Amino acid sequence: MSSHTPSPVKRLTAPEIYARKGGTPLVSLTAYDAPMAEILDDHCDILLVGDSVGMVVHGLPNTIGVTMEMMILHGQAVMRGARRAFVVVDMPFGSYEGEPEVAFANAARLLKETGAQAVKVESGPTVARTIAYLTQRGIPVMGHIGLRPQAVNVDGGFRAKGRTPEEREKVLQEARDTDAAGAFAIVIEGVAADLAGEITAAVKAPTIGIGASAACDGQILVVDDMLGQFDWSPKFVRRYAALRETISEAAAAYAKDVKSRDFPAPQETYFAK
């Protein structure tokens, strides 16, 4: 009898993502653990281990407190669950804004210790040089422009970008610089539809929108927002489920059965032989 080992599933690559510019829109969601990554893997081109994990999973008020260790832990979990999707890990605040050599050491650590295929950085005014430094040394980089969550303290909160002529030109220039530096894709967050369309037309890399209209080359959402696990979500989120209510109802039913001793029932109980 001969045994047959199934062929391993081939993961998507950075060049394949880059080649999707102007084609079938890229489907992306965040993932923070192995079970969710396994579920999403069949449906997503890109899974982002976002630093949003600090808020979504760890209850932090923003992403500033997220550490390298947190990103590595969740990146490892997602890689255990995903087989086909291209996995990107966010570089946390403070890990890449200084000298490019430090950014490279941190990015290399993320990829080595997680097995992920790329990192994402928020493309502030000084980051293009770092993106070029990383890509030239074999690290695929996804950029992030517009509303940048790691800049929350400078901006005084989470607010849409590009609403004034000066700010609009600044966001557009950051997009051009990120593209020229070699990013294989660029997340655009929290900008008006016309600006998102202008950016998408101006850059060679595919754009992935979050609150940036259907003009982009793909879309991403925080998976917990999309699944309705919070009682509030941003304007740009469409809820495709209502898991908060479902989980609450299930927990209430369980509590009721425990208190009435209806659970566990005989079919859920072990007995002596």
| Annotated binding-site residue numbers for 3-methyl-2-oxobutanoate | 51-52, 90, 120
Give Cα separations from 49 to 42, 63, 167 (angstroms): 17, 13, 28
The Cα–Cα gap between 82 and 87 comes to 8
Angle (nearest 5°) at CA 42 between 39 and 48: 70
- The structure tokens listed for 158 are 């989470």
Classify residue 161 by its DSSP letter: B
Token pair belonging to 104: 């490279």
Instruction: Write the CB contacts of 109 (distance below 8 Å, at least 6 apart in sequence).
Output: 68, 72
Catalytic residue selected from 189, 245, 249, 268: 189
What is the amino acid identity at position 120? K
C-alpha distances (whole Å) from 54 to each of 62, 93, 123, 158, 237 are 7, 11, 20, 15, 19
The number of beta carbons lying within 10 Å of the beta carbon of residue 3 is 4
**Interatomic CA distance for residues 7 and 21, integer angstroms:** 29
Nearest to 113 by CA among 82, 73, 70, 66: 73
Question: Is 69 noted as a catalytic residue in this protein?
Answer: no
Element (H, E) at 89: strand 86-90
Question: Tokens 């880059």 correspond to what residue?
Answer: 18
Tell which residue, 78, 76, 103, has the closest CA to residue 92.
103
Catalogue the active-site residues. Answer: 189
